[in-house]
Structure 1
Amino acid sequence: MAIRKLAWRWRAACAMIVFIAAWAIYSMARPADEVVLTIGEPYEQVRRQSRSTLPPAEPNTTWGGFVIRPARLRFSDPRYSFVTPAAKFLTVSYDEHGNVGSVTLSPQVETLPLDDTMAILTDLQNQLRRGGWRLIRATENPAMTDTPAMRAEIRSRADPITYWLADDKYQIILDVRRFIHENRPNDERYLITLQLSGPPWIEDYPGG
């Protein structure tokens, strides 16, 4: 009896190991989730063309869908396209007609060290420039470049923010914040937020 019980436990343990190994292989081989959209297109069309966990739209209401598994955003406008890293927080809002009005995301799956944060900020802003987006209000809100002065500003919890326009079609607000854990005051962690919408309601200042 004891031998049969040990054999059963051994088979169960082997089955669990095989399952874990198979799941790990599947997870590595499985393409990353991706939300593909432009502002103004039908939300349900976004769900069909994306590989994501966005839920169905609520009919006849203004609302938004959240991903429950990290997904990158691929903004698919023919001219102003860009791609973000995977985001644990990503929401797509839509109007009463079911059309996409805005996207808000933090392009990361956890709060990040400053080096990783600066790498993401630099890449996103470079993509925007290459795609024809224009930085506005640059005198008071310059681009977030990887310099000692900008790093010091971010570390000081000044919460720098930048504003970008794509002609009269879209706008982006990009900002970064520092988080300090009460039990780990020296542990620097940062969160980026990107808000995409259109058409623009933010105006440039005279002289930039």
Structure 2
Amino acid sequence: MSLMHRVGWRRGILALAVISLLTLSAIQVLSDEPEIALMIGEPWEDMRQRSSAAIDPAIPGHVSFNIPKSDARLRFIDPQYGFVTPPARFFVIIYNKEMIISVRMSPQIEPLLLDDTLKVVLDLQDQLRSAGWTPIRIEEDPPFADTPQWRAQLRDVNKGGTSYWHAEDKFQVMLVVHRFKDNKRPTEERYLITLALAMPWTNP
């Protein structure tokens, strides 16, 4: 093997090693993210024991809610209709007599720019579609899309947008996007996303 070939071979091995380390680091970061892993209708304590994000116990016999003690992503673990959100700062889990009945959250850490907002919402919609969720009420509230019409609607502080999804008659997701006045960035257009998850509460 010539000197040039040996140098090229060593560089190739080094490049593969760097790529492997970066991949392992990315996997480690993802696995280290606190998450709430739950099912609608399951016992609260099952969710607590399964989740890596800390959250308080339920109050026996009450209808109430708790929030995770840190930023956390939602992992909805239904074997057919599951999906995962980005980490959230606003994250409320509601229970009735120690059984989980609904989730309301903003799948973001801070108000986002419009491009980033659409990226999050479209990824969530893609996950729902892939898992077999169906958009409903599409004449009044069609799914979000990255189009000039949708961008103009979301920029309008009086409009925003909403999209509804059903998993048969088992679950419903509502996605809402609206303009948000961020006092930390008063000159920027920022947006909030709301995700609600529960048993169906509207008709298709």
TM range (shorter): 0.7 to 0.9
1:135 aligned residue: 135
Per-residue CA distance 1:147-192 (angstroms, 9 max, x = gap) = 1110110001212101110001000111011012479653111000
Give the equivalent residue in structure 2 for 1:145.
145
Q: Distance in 2 between matches of 1:156 and 1:71?
A: 30
Q: Are residue 202 (structure 1) and residue 202 (structure 2) matched?
A: yes
Distance 2:190 2:162 in 1: 17
Q: Any idea what SS the aligned residue of 2:52 has? A: coil
How far apart are the structure 2 equivalents of 1:202 and 1:169?
Answer: 12
Residues 54 and 66 in structure 1, CA contact (< 8 A), matched pair in contact too: yes
Give 3-state SS (helix, strand or coil) of 1:187's partner.
coil
Q: Matches of 1:95 and 1:143 in 2, distance apart?
A: 31
CA distance in 1, matches of 2:163, 2:122: 12
Letter in 2 for 1:64: F
Counterpart residue number, 1:108: 108
Distance 2:52 2:137 in 1: 36
Q: Distance in 2 between matches of 1:175 and 1:29?
A: 26
Structure 1 partner of 2:36 = 35
> How far apart, CA to CA, are the structure 2 residues paired with 1:109 and 1:81?
22
Go from structure 1 to structure 2 and tell me whether the alpha carbon gap of 1:30 and 1:85 turns closer, same or farther (over 3 Å shift).
Answer: closer
Q: Report the counterpart of residue 73 of structure 1 in structure 2.
A: 74
Deviations along 1:48-83, one digit per CA (max 9) or x if unpaired, are: 000112111111101111013110000000100000
How many pairs does the alignment contain?
A: 176
TM-score of the aligned structures, taking structure 1 as reference length: 0.80
Look up the equivalent residue of 1:43 and give its one-letter code: W
The question of 1:53 aligning with 2:64 is answered no
5+ residue gaps, structure 1, are 1-27
Provide the aligned C-alpha RMSD in A.
1.8
Amino acid at match of 2:52: R
Q: State the distance in 1 between where 2:81 and 2:162 align.
A: 20
Question: Who is 1:160 aligned against?
Answer: 161
Give the letter aligned to residue 138 of structure 1.
I
Counterparts in 2 of 1:183 and 1:82: CA distance versus 1, 3 Å: closer
Determine the C-alpha separation between the residues in 1 that align with 2:53 and 2:31: 12
Question: What is the rounded CA distance, in whole Å, between the counterparts of 1:190 and 1:166 in structure 2?
Answer: 27
Percent of pairs identical after alignment?
45
Question: Normalization by structure 2: what TM-score?
Answer: 0.82
